[in-house]
Each structure stands twice: as C-alpha cells, then as structure tokens.
Amino acid sequence: MNYSEITPYIKKLAALSDASNHIVPEMYAQHDVKRGLRDINGNGVVTGLTEVSRIKAKDKDAHGNEISCHGQLYYRGINIRELVNGFISDNRPGFEETVYLLLFSKLPTKDELDRFCEQLSLYRSLPPSFVRDMILKAPGKDMMNILSRSVLALYAYDENPDDISTANILRQCLQLIAESPLLAVYGYQSYQHYHNDQSLFIHYPKKELNTAENLLYILREDGQYTRLEAKLLDLALVLHAEHGGGNNSTFTTHVVTSSGTDTYSAISAALGSLKGPRHGGANIKVMQMFDDMKSSIDTKDKGAVRDYLVSLLDKQAFDKAGLIYGMGHAVYSLSDPRADILRHYAKKLSEEKGMQEEFALYETIEEMAPEIIAEKRKMYKGVSANVDFYSGMVYKMLGLPYELFTPIFAVARIAGWSAHRLEEIQNAGKIIRPTYINVKDETEYVSLKDR
C-alpha cells in the first residue's frame, strides 16, 4: 500500500465533504462574525493585553479622525528604529540585546548583556546523540517540519518538561532560543545529504560567536563569512524577533499556552502556524516571483516590468494567485518600518556582492507596485513594501538556501513567542476558549435500515 496515495475512495469522500459545507461568505456578516478576527476595515479584533510590542500604523488628524501614518514598531515601548540605531552605531550585534529586552522589558547593562550572552552560549548545544537519532535518522523534505519535530523531541530529554513556573519556562525558552539555529541548519544538512546526495558536514557552534555568526559558521562548509554578512543577518533576526502580538503564530502561542501545556508543545504549535504560506513563507514567494520575472521578461525594460506586475494581479503570471508578493500588510499602509530599515542595509550588501542591478529592480517594483495595485484593486488603505520584500533578497545575497528562509524567521521569532508565553502564564490564568456560531439546522436521526 502506498501510504501517501489519494485513492478513488478518498477522492469520493473528499467530494462528499466539500458538498456538505454550506457556509457562504454572506453568513459572516449576517451573524456579525469577524472572519479572521478582523472587522470590515481590516482592524484586528482585540483578544488580550500585552506589553511585549506594539504596532502603530494610524494617527489622528486635527478633527480626531483616524488617518494612516508611516508605520512604527515598538519592542517593550522602544522604537525599533532607535533600537537598531543604538547597536549599529556602536558597531556591535543586536539580537541578544533584543532577546533580553523582549523577555525582561528593559535594556541590559553591559555586564548584564555579557552574562546573558554567556548563558546563551552555554545553552548552544544539543543533547548527546540528538543530531544522530532525531535529525539524521529521520531526514525530511520540509525544514519547518523538521524544526517543529525537533522542538517536540527535546521534551523527552528534559528532566522537568511540564513545570510551568516562570523559572522553568524561562530556562526552556532560553535553551530553545540558543538551540534553534542548530536544529534548523542541521535539519537542512540532513535534507541536502539524504535527499539531494550532497556531502554531509556538521559544524559545532563556537562559544565566542553570537547567534548570527554561529548560524553562518555552521551552515557554510568552510565556515567563513564577512562582517557585513553577519551584521545583516543579525539585523534580520532583530527585525523578525517580534511583531505586535496580533499575528497568527503569536496568537497560537497564547492559545496553546493558556491550556497549561508545556513549552515544547506551545513553541511547536507556533512553528506550525509560521510554516503556512499566508504567514512565514511569504519571503520565499517573493524570491520565486522574482525568479519567474527574470526568466520571463527583460527586467531592464520598465514597461515590461509594469506589464508583468499587471499580469500578476490579473492571475496570468507566476502562480496565478493574483498577488504581488512582498507588497501590502495587514496593518501597515504607508510603510513597514522593518522594510525601511532592511532596504537601507540591503543596498550596502548589494554593493559588496556586486548585485546593484538586482537591488535597483527591487526599488523599481517597490515604486511601481502600489500605483498598479491601487488601479486594479479596491483598497481601504494604502499599500507599501513589507519586510518580506527585502528579507528574501538579503537572505539570497547571504547565500542562504530557500529552504531555510522560514526557519530563520522562526529562529528569530522564538524570542517573541517566549516573551508572550511568559506573559500569558504570568497574567492570564484562564484557558482561551472562543465561541463559534452553529448554522446547521437540526435534523432527525434515521436508523441504518431506513437510510
């Protein structure tokens, strides 16, 4: 028997399932249900309180009316632009400092930061035989599934996995933050070896390197990287570490945590959410879209580029989904601050890598796309490039494989999920239990002989 085969009988059952669904879009408005937990204007429905981060995309005019403004992102009340400027101007990495800020709601002193980095370094290893038994012996084709599976497997190596005291959760979260780059990269190495017939190499992390440096070191066969490469990857980790508390995977973290379950189950559930192409997989779509564009048209011809973007929206190009990937965001309208920051530093990396022409193409599309989308779509707010638009290019310039784009997003976001898990445990005390309205009419039971 082929375990993965969709048999004619399964197809028949699938058709029966499709035919049994009678919920139509109009019912959501009829019952005042905020589908996707968003109202008619795209605003999120409030489901809780947080101190971890905040997004600002609207302001008020002189008459008190809401108007769109350039996007702002705050980590524990600190503007992300100021946070980035702080460590960049000091010419030092920022991810570890950002993790400390998200977890403890304060910026560390130099001594506090040094001690924190030392602790992360101590945790940057996996249990004996874990790589062999849990990763190499069961290679997979999807890195996010391998990452999620590996996180769940760590439960079995924890002597106190179900203790949900603050101290124990914090210990588990710090270990996952430190270990996740290893899980992601080693999972990729096993995939390359067993599915693509590539040489297998496993580098152990160096305790003197930070998170971004270690990730590049263990990923590359020669372990080499430039200072600018490490700086850009560190910046990308900072910008992906957290985002406003209203996204799908963070909500998943709160929901699963509220049940009282263990840290490994909560983080694995969040990883399952992030894997979805509507959430964490968007930067891969951006890169695939650009690959298709470059193989289909002369990208130096702006008229051809414009026609291609129109054909994307008309569902005639690329994956025919009707989307220009990397453009638009559920909250931001005029600008995504993460995209603004990445754009600036991506330009510098493009100069080091000799990829100025490709960067110019990105700038052209960023300029053209909002105008074209406005012409083709009814919109309640503006459209601008989001973080996925430039993060994919940064990852490509760093030589990162597409398979690791979303896992690296996850490596960063585990910091934010950890902060939200702690917050949920410390402040809630009740399981999150939403209500669904049943719209199915009651029917009589018919005995088997009479059906």
CATH 1.10.580.10 boundaries in the chain: 95-278+412-427
What is the maximal distance between C-alpha atoms in the chain? 79
Told to judge if 388 belongs to the known catalytic residues of this protein, a careful annotator would answer: yes
- Among 240, 243, 388, 420, the active-site one is 388
For residues 335 and 111, which has the higher predicted lDDT (pLDDT)?
111
From the list 158, 279, 307, 340, the catalytic residue is: 279
332 falls in which pLDDT band (50, 70, 90)?
confident
**Is 254 an annotated catalytic residue?**
no
Global confidence as pTM: 0.93
Residue (of 75, 349, 338, 323) closest to 228 by Cα position: 349
The pLDDT value given to residue 246: 80
Range in 2-6, 276-280, 302-306 the model is least confident about: 276-280
Q: pLDDT category, 380, cuts 50, 70, 90?
A: low
Cα separation, 80 vs 78, whole angstroms: 6
Nearest to 172 by CA among 240, 250, 110, 264: 264
CB 390 within 8 A of CB 339: yes
Asked if the model's pLDDT at residue 60 lies above 90, the reply is no
Section 276-304 average pLDDT: 91
Identity at 290, one-letter amino acid code: F
CATH topology of domain 282-397: Cytochrome p450-Terp; domain 2 (1.10.230)
d(Cα 118, Cα 208) in Å, to the nearest integer?
9
Neighbours of 387 (CB within 10 A): 26
User: Is a pLDDT exceeding 70 seen at residue 439?
Assistant: yes
Confidence check: pLDDT of 288 > 90: yes
Contact predicate 419/103, CB 8 Å = yes
Is 279 known to be catalytic?
yes
Q: Give me the percent of the chain exceeding a pLDDT of 70.
A: 98
Nearest Cα to 225, choosing from 402, 406, 399?
Answer: 399
User: pLDDT value at position 38?
Assistant: 74
Domain with CATH 1.10.230.10 in the chain: 282-397
- Assess whether pLDDT exceeds 60 at residue 67: yes
**Could you read off the pLDDT of 249-286 as tens digits, one per residue?**
999 999 999 999 999 999 999 999 999 888 888 888 99
Q: Residue 245's pLDDT band (boundaries 50, 70, 90)?
A: low
Residue 335 or residue 264, greater confidence:
264
Least trusted range by pLDDT, from 48-57, 238-247, 376-385:
376-385
The pLDDT mean for the chain works out to 93
pLDDT surpasses 70 at 379: no
Both tokens of residue 215?
Answer: 């990730």
User: Does 26 score more than 70 pLDDT?
Assistant: yes
pLDDT digits (tens, 9 = 90+) for 145-177: 999 999 999 999 999 999 999 999 999 999 999
Residue 444: both structure tokens together? 């009589």
- From 240, 243, 254, 329, the catalytic residue: 329
What confidence category does residue 194 fall into, taking pLDDT thresholds of 50, 70 and 90? Answer: very high
Q: How confident is the model at residue 102 (pLDDT cuts 50, 70, 90)?
A: very high
CATH number of 95-278+412-427: 1.10.580.10
189-213: average pLDDT: 96
